[in-house]
Structure 1
Amino acid sequence: MIPRQATSTLQRLAKGFPIVALTGPRQSGKTTLAKHVFAQKAYVSLENPDELEFAHSDPRRFLARFDQGAILDEVQRCPALLSWLQTLVDERGVMGDFVLTGSAQFELIASITQSLAGRVGRVELLPLTAQELRTADKLPSDLNTMLLQGGYPSLYNRDVSPQDWFSNYIATYIERDVRQLIAVRDLSQFQRFVKMCAARSGQLLNLTSLGADCGLSANTAREWLSVLEASYLVTRLQPHHQNFGKRLVKSPKLYFLDVGLMAWLLGIRDADTLDTHAARGALFETFVVSELIKQRFNQGQASDLHFWRDSAGHEVDVLLDTPAGLQAIEIKSGSTFASDWIKGLKKWRSIAGSNALPPKVIFGGTGMYEREDCKVKGWQNI
């Protein structure tokens, strides 16, 4: 198993909450991590039809088997179980008693909010970070390989190509999750919608335009996009809310949460194609943004990432609120630093004033240094 940065967060939360919830996309390593951190606990998957039927028909007796707690995998398949779990953990008063995992966040979080408020510590586990891969000595040596593979653990612990793995992942996802979450009559149309979303990763989101390109209404596009968010395939970055004296763009930006999946959906299968592809910049930006989100999630924090763009076209790719001030990050896929990269950063800093920290640039090259009061980092040092 590749060591996960979320391990210490899970251990910390298990000391202060009777229930720990571990959510994330399918195949991100949730079950492996839960079994590793809580090795002494019994494990039950509600994907097992017998266990699911038992949980539905007799939840009290189902839970009574676990006097030392348990890991309940894919628990969103039996939401009613959570009400019984509430009574049980309140009676026991044991911290870290049960561990819940799930891959459909809207269903699971809605159930947790209703039944287990104040009793659950939650961690969202996305695919592997570059730092986790580097610690395990599995980080690709070149950027193109990183962009093509992404971070799903199976691509680093199995002898399988990204092309084979992603094609089966998408087929399984659409057959299982989509049918469970919404009634889609034409699955091929939904798959086309997913590919159109991949083509817009890193761009401002226009639901009307997205729907029109797929032959859908804006409302249907909104519903389908919420399914992708619920399955942890995409996220929306909101514009920063602080008014810096300029008219600001109000639309969010769309990002995939795994760059390898995005590359596969765009039809990119090799490094030569990637080198000259029009979406290379968007792929690198998606990679960096997803890495920043993973780092926050692994610490048990909300992403709290924003972007900034004014009506004149000045833009900062990422803004992060920190106790010390606003951290601006510019993302560039080029391998050689260029002075015009920090034009938007300079404009933003002149407007933001004393609340602005020294900005950072993350680029597609190597090394770490400073240029014009900006910290510059290569992709391997993210």
Structure 2
Amino acid sequence: MVTRDAESLLKKYARQFRSLAVIGPRQSGKTTLVCKVFSRKPYVSLENPDERLFAVQDPRGFLSRFKSGAILDEVQRAPELFSYLQQILDRTNKDGLFILTGSNNFLLQSSISQSLAGRIGYIDLFPLSSSEINLFDKRPAELAEYIFYGGYPELFDKSRTPSIWYPSYIRTYIERDVKQLKNIENTVLFNRFIQLCAGRIGQQLNTAALSNECGIDVKTVNAWLSILQSSFIIYLLQPHFQNFNKRVVKTPKLYFSDTGVACSLLGIRKPQEISVSPFYGALTENFCINDLLKKKYNTAGSTSFFYWRDNKGVEIDLLLDTGKKLIPVEIKAAQTFNESFLKNMIYWNNISGNTGGILIYGGEHEYKRSDKIQLTSWKNLKSIKL
């Protein structure tokens, strides 16, 4: 297994907090990472029925086995542990004692906020970034291949076939993880709902349209969107409200946490289909924003991510807010630069009084223009400072 970018952050946090929570999608590499960094700690999976029963029925006895701490995997499966963990952490001055992992953000956050607030450090671990994928001997070569494969470690570590692996992953997710949050009886309809979401990548969220097409009410749409967010399948990119004397859109845009999952839901079965797909631009946008988000999470960056759009349809794909300045980012799948790619960015710079920005595109040539706009290849996303 390659060294994950988040490894140094994990070690740093283990010296700052009495306990750590590593959260992210199922199969994103959480267990592998924590077992590597904390190899001397005993490991217990709460997915194991015997261990989970012990933890639920006798949490004090369960935890008494681990005088020097432990790795507790999928800990949201036994929320009874958290109050007892609080007592242990309050009595210790040791840092990095218990390492908790979870793939269900809602259940984990709810339990932690009630019992362990102020005692625990959070690390979000998402699937592999493009720079991490590049550490493997067998890796994608073209942009469409990176999009198609996504970032789940097992695809590269064990050379899995995406068109076989992802449908199984999605089915397991629906049949296991979703039912932890909400007992959805009609899994066929829920799967249809996820597919409809995949067809809206990079678009403004329209709950009424999802309601009509899926045949469910808006309240159910919002509940199911919450499930998809809590289990790290989708995320919503919020709009930046600063209007610069123009009316702006205040509806979030929908993206998937992994483009391989999205491709599977869209029925894409091989990389060659992506470049001719009507979703090529949206998937490229999704891939690039994902990679930048992973860099932020892996380094505990403070930059906030937004998009901007006014009521005339002028849009900035990504607006990076560093706290000191706003950096507009446009994303294009085309391999050849065209001056028209910068139209919206130049417009936004003019009304905001900003200068510069970043164009990420499908080509390889990189340079900084006289107007301070940087042309950056999708292959070099790691170079963008956050």
Q: Secondary structure at the match of 1:276?
A: coil
Matched, 1:283 2:283: yes
What is aligned with 2:384? none
Q: CA offsets per residue over residues 256-284 of structure 1, 9 Å max, x none?
A: 01111111110111233222111110110
In structure 2, the CA distance between the partners of 1:357 and 1:7, relative to structure 1 (3 Å rule), is: farther
Tell me if the contact between 1:122 and 1:300 (Cα under 8 Å) persists in the aligned partners.
no
Distance 1:243 1:307 in 2: 12
1:301 Cα deviation from its structure 2 partner: 4.4
After TM superposition, the structure 1 = structure 2 runs for residues 157-196 of structure 1, keeping only pairs within 5 Å, are 157-196=157-196
1:102 Cα deviation from its structure 2 partner: 0.3
Distance 1:357 1:130 in 2: 28
What is aligned with 2:358? 360
1:346 Cα deviation from its structure 2 partner: 0.6
What is aligned with 1:54? 54
What is aligned with 2:261? 261
Distance 1:240 1:364 in 2: 26
Q: Secondary structure at the match of 2:167?
A: helix
Distance 1:183 1:302 in 2: 36
Amino acid at match of 1:376: L
After TM superposition, the structure 1 = structure 2 runs for residues 209-288 of structure 1, keeping only pairs within 5 Å, are 209-288=209-288
Q: CA offsets per residue over residues 205-230 of structure 1, 9 Å max, x none?
A: 00111121111111111100111101
What is aligned with 1:9? 9
Tell me if the contact between 1:367 and 1:381 (Cα under 8 Å) persists in the aligned partners.
no
Distance 1:351 1:65 in 2: 62
Distance 2:157 2:204 in 1: 35
What is aligned with 1:351? 351
Count the aligned residue pairs. Answer: 380
Distance 2:341 2:286 in 1: 17
What is aligned with 2:376? 377
Q: CA offsets per residue over residues 330-364 of structure 1, 9 Å max, x none?
A: 000101011000111011111221xx352001111
Tell me if the contact between 2:139 and 2:156 (Cα under 8 Å) persists in the aligned partners.
no
**Runs (5+) with no aligned partner, structure 1:** none
What is aligned with 1:26? 26
What is aligned with 2:72? 72
Q: CA offsets per residue over residues 292-313 of structure 1, 9 Å max, x none?
A: 1111111234672100001111
Tell me if the contact between 2:302 and 2:322 (Cα under 8 Å) persists in the aligned partners.
no
Tell me if the contact between 1:130 and 1:139 (Cα under 8 Å) persists in the aligned partners.
no
Per the normalisation by structure 2, the TM-score is: 0.96
Distance 1:158 1:264 in 2: 19
Q: CA offsets per residue over residues 90-144 of structure 1, 9 Å max, x none?
A: 1122100000000000110111111001011000100000111224455421111
**Runs (5+) with no aligned partner, structure 2:** 382-386
Distance 1:301 1:221 in 2: 32
Amino acid at match of 2:363: G
Amino acid at match of 2:54: F
Tell me if the contact between 2:303 and 2:323 (Cα under 8 Å) persists in the aligned partners.
no
1:57 Cα deviation from its structure 2 partner: 1.2
Per the normalisation by structure 1, the TM-score is: 0.97
Distance 2:115 2:264 in 1: 39
What is aligned with 2:128? 128
1:185 Cα deviation from its structure 2 partner: 1.7
Q: Secondary structure at the match of 2:20?
A: strand
Distance 1:284 1:253 in 2: 15
